[in-house]
Structure 1
Amino acid sequence: MLLKQSRFQKNRLQHVEQHFAQLEKRFDGMHLKSLESKLHPHLFKNILNSVQSHAYQTYYTLDKLANVLDYILYEGRDDYVSIKSEIDFSRSLIDINKIKVSPLFDIRVKTKVATSHEYYEQKLISPMLCLDFIENAFKHADLQSAEAYISFYFELSDNGLFHFTVSNTASEHWQLTKQNGGMGIEAFEHRLRILYKNCFKLERFTENNIFTAHLTLDLRELERTKMHITG
């Protein structure tokens, strides 16, 4: 019986290692020019190494990583993607980042989206819209305090507004970064203005050491703008 279990574990580990090697090969073959403006390759390389070092526990995470890389390689090259695709990508990216924190850390993900909504699968937004929010949440959150948390909330309302809200307990490092300037945030907001003109609203505030970023996109206005450009 023990020999059978050992053989099963060995075969599973070999399968995981092969899956990792395939992912690493796909990563290395990416066109770096398309990645530079959309994500940090070194960060993903570190995630790959982290996943490999926890091979027994993270088979699920490897599948999520494959989803993220597929999105970057294929849909990420398009000018527009759907809300469905962006949420799927974001949830996979969140799951990947969970491996870097304690299993007991409070990470909340909530989605309020009707799959029958007319804009759910319509390609209206630029790919990887939520990437910076997710990366910054894990980068600047307090991961040590007992009451610390990170919260992600996606909503597609009946009136055609897409909401994405991220809240996290702010770390001391984030407070220092905020005091020394916010070029990363300013660059991201500038990118939003280029992409969405007057079709977005970005709110950022800190209250009781909780940092919150709330992005709203007017999908109806984006649809009209897109039709005007392509028409």
Structure 2
Amino acid sequence: MFKNRYLYIFLHIIMWLGYTTLPLINAFQRDSARTQVNPYTNPTYWAYVSISSIFLFYLNSQILFPKIYKRQPIRYFLTLVAVIVILLFGRFFVRVTFVGNDINQSLFYVNAFIQYLYVFGISASYCFFSDYQKQQEIQRENENERLKSELSFLRSQISPHFMFNLLNSLVSLNRKKSNLVEPVLLKMSDLLRYMLYEKDDKQISLDNEIKYLSNYIDLQKIRFGDYVNIEFITKTTYENKNIEPMLLIPFVENAFKHGVGLIENPFISVELETTVNQLLFKVSNKYSSDKKEAKDGASGIGLNNVKRRLELLYPKQYELKVSENDNLYTIELKLNFK
């Protein structure tokens, strides 16, 4: 409501039309018990009461409250009292001059003061509500900026972490199968090109993400050969789906990092399936419960990173399950497409 300027103005006009016409409607109603002329039937008096009420409302809401109340509350209340007193005397002068002096002054001032107090109460409520809305908006903007900064930091971590793992793979391959280094470098160039030109996009096509996963898995197949049984199954019957870039690769990286080595008959399975509104992603790998791996300082960055990105980008739109059964480590991700 506050962001739409025209709606904002329209609502204020409607409010004041209702407030100022109500005394007129009441003034022209038949009342056999009434012995005095209703002062609101006089255009000048009605105009003064209406304008003075509008003046008090906006003076308080646009000037006094935002500029004085928070800094000098005593000055604020003294100024407000002075303004209301001036309006009361002005109202009495208009009443006597244009309507007549057959009035009870005490009763007149009490009624007029109550009316202005009512206008002030509405204005004060409006001020507190507006101020609360603005503070909430500022908090939301600050939170959004904080989340954007955090997301940018998380994305920036992907490149060095991924490069670290790729270089380790390349060093290992050079020692065992140096003749395969060249095709692996070509695969790596495709992966790096994707990282450089795609990872900063807000959303990319799921097909590109699948190609990226396929290139990475092909690289690992070249590296390990027949030593590791690797499966990559995709069932994507729905096109034009988008996803956050490099969201799935950390799960696959983790499987290769912990699913090979001193493990008998290592096995890694990657399954990706799409429904109309959901992505289903599953990664499984064998692990050894007898031997504990020595972890370096970078261990776990990828998984922690992707979990936090899921929280930021897909709040309440994903389900992540991790299970360990019969020496098989499995992650299952269900992700609702945006």
Please state which band the TM-score falls in when normalised by the shorter chain: 0.5 to 0.7
Equivalent runs, 1:4-23 vs 2, <5 Å: none
2:266 is matched with 148
Structure 2 counterpart SS, 1:94: helix
**Could you say if the C-alpha distance between residues 146 and 186 of structure 1 is closer, same or farther in structure 2, counting changes exceeding 3 Å?**
closer
1:45 is matched with 167
Superposition TM-score, scaled by structure 1 size: 0.66
**Could you say if the C-alpha distance between residues 174 and 166 of structure 1 is closer, same or farther in structure 2, counting changes exceeding 3 Å?**
farther
**Could you say if the C-alpha distance between residues 63 and 107 of structure 1 is closer, same or farther in structure 2, counting changes exceeding 3 Å?**
same
Give the % identical residues. Answer: 29
2:235 is equivalent to residue 118 of structure 1? no
* 8 A contact 1:202–1:213 mirrored in 2: yes
Q: What are the Cα deviations for residues 75-106 of structure 1, in whole angstroms up to 9, with x where unaligned? A: 11211111101010011112223344353321
Comparing both structures, which one devotes a greater share of its residues to strand?
1
* 8 A contact 1:51–1:62 mirrored in 2: no
Equivalent runs, 1:152-231 vs 2, <5 Å: 152-157=270-275, 159-172=276-289, 184=301, 185-219=303-337, 222=338
CA distance in 2: counterparts of 1:174 and 1:189, whole angstroms: 26
Greater length-normalized contact order (CA 8 Å, ≥ 6 residues apart): 1
Q: By how many angstroms is 1:139 displaced?
A: 1.0
Structure 2 counterpart SS, 1:171: coil
Q: CA RMSD in A?
A: 2.9
**Could you say if the C-alpha distance between residues 146 and 176 of structure 1 is closer, same or farther in structure 2, counting changes exceeding 3 Å?**
closer
**Could you say if the C-alpha distance between residues 118 and 98 of structure 1 is closer, same or farther in structure 2, counting changes exceeding 3 Å?**
closer
2:33 is matched with none
Superposition TM-score, scaled by structure 2 size: 0.47
2:106 is matched with none
Q: What is the one-letter code of the residue matched to 1:106?
A: N
CA distance in 2: counterparts of 1:205 and 1:150, whole angstroms: 15
Q: What is the one-letter code of the residue matched to 1:160?
A: N
CA distance in 2: counterparts of 1:80 and 1:86, whole angstroms: 10
Comparing both structures, which one devotes a greater share of its residues to helix?
2
Which residue of 210, 216, 234 corresponds with 1:87? Answer: 210
CA distance in 2: counterparts of 1:163 and 1:118, whole angstroms: 15
CA distance in 2: counterparts of 1:48 and 1:146, whole angstroms: 23
Unaligned runs of 5+ in 2: 1-152
Q: What is the one-letter code of the residue matched to 2:287?
A: A
Rg (Cα) greater in structure: 2
CA distance in 2: counterparts of 1:34 and 1:176, whole angstroms: 25
CA distance in 2: counterparts of 1:173 and 1:126, whole angstroms: 37
Q: By how many angstroms is 1:61 displaced?
A: 2.6
Unaligned runs of 5+ in 1: 1-32, 223-231
**Could you say if the C-alpha distance between residues 34 and 144 of structure 1 is closer, same or farther in structure 2, counting changes exceeding 3 Å?**
closer
Q: How many residues align?
A: 179
